[in-house]
Amino acid sequence: MCAKEKPPVHLLVSMTLLLLVSLFASAVASSRADIDWDTYWPGDDDEVIDAINEGELNFLDKPIDKPVHHHHNKITVLKSSIKTGWIKLQQCHDNLDIFPRVQIVYKEGKIRNLRITEHNNIGEARVEGHTVQLTDVKKHARLCIEAESRALIAQDDGSFVMQNGPFMRKFLDGYFPMRVSIDIQLPANLSFVAIEPVEQKGFTVTRGKQHLYLDTWFEGRLVTQFKFELVPEPTILTKKQEPETGLQSPLAL
């Protein structure tokens, strides 16, 4: 497919966040003039065709030298999350792709208290049930939401998992570069055990006390899974009363 024979205007951009909390963004353009084709087909036609990723996960050694979709998530796991599975979610999308209409759909029943906290370079943004509806998405668009997500899943062995994905920036049959970052704050009685895929170039995890930060640049389809386990809470000891010795204080002379 060459640049002179661009595909029809029915488009699908698909992304997913968190286990049981799916994020799909679909768009329909009214005419070819609505699409910023250079975003998807820059440069020479043959080079572009060779470079199109068809879904195979490929981590990028270094960031792309132009703005691409950055999907950032800040997750706060509370003590109550261990029993209920509900976590606090703050999510932002920077450099959204340019489309006349975009619909973001979260998994019904697994998202609550959904609200928009910020939107820039977007004609209109509104919440409808478990969806966010966007119109007139322009260059350098930004959208942020807050919600509660039922994302922490207890396992039979007593551990917990939080699965994310598949993240993807899909346009027709091609997958294009994107950046995903996940910032997780843990309660004192939950500790990080492992992550899949394993850490590698283009996929890094920074650990702190009760804190994790994942940052990755990739193209294709990415699914991640964090594993956590409970840790005993420290016992608070009270000062014991000193035992009586039976000795009396010396008499003053």
At 218, list the tokens: 């990739």
The reply to whether 252 falls in a domain is: no
Predicted confidence at residue 235, as pLDDT, reads: 66
Strands, E assignment, the chain: 10-14, 24-28, 58-59, 70-76, 86-96, 99-105, 111-128, 131-150, 153-154, 160-167, 170-171, 174-175, 178-185, 190-196, 203-208, 211-219, 222-230
Predicted confidence at residue 3, as pLDDT, reads: 43
Rounded Cα distance between 89 and 187, Å, is 15
pLDDT band at 252 (very low <50, low <70, confident <90, very high): very low
> Where residue 203 sits, what CATH number does that domain have?
2.60.40
| pTM confidence score | 0.74
pLDDT in tens, 7-31: 332 333 333 332 223 333 333 333 3
Predicted confidence at residue 54, as pLDDT, reads: 66
The reply to whether 182 falls in a domain is: yes
Count of structural domains, the chain: 1
The reply to whether 248 falls in a domain is: no
Q: What is the mean pLDDT of residues 238-247?
A: 54
Please choose, from the candidates 197, 168, 182, the residue with its C-alpha nearest in 3D space to the C-alpha of residue 23. 168
The reply to whether 39 falls in a domain is: no
The reply to whether 253 falls in a domain is: no
Give the residue numbers spanning the domain of 88. 10-30+57-230
pLDDT band at 192 (very low <50, low <70, confident <90, very high): very high
Q: What are phi and psi of 237, to 5 degrees?
A: -90, 140
The reply to whether 52 falls in a domain is: no
- For the chain, the average pLDDT equals 78
Rounded Cα distance between 218 and 59, Å, is 4
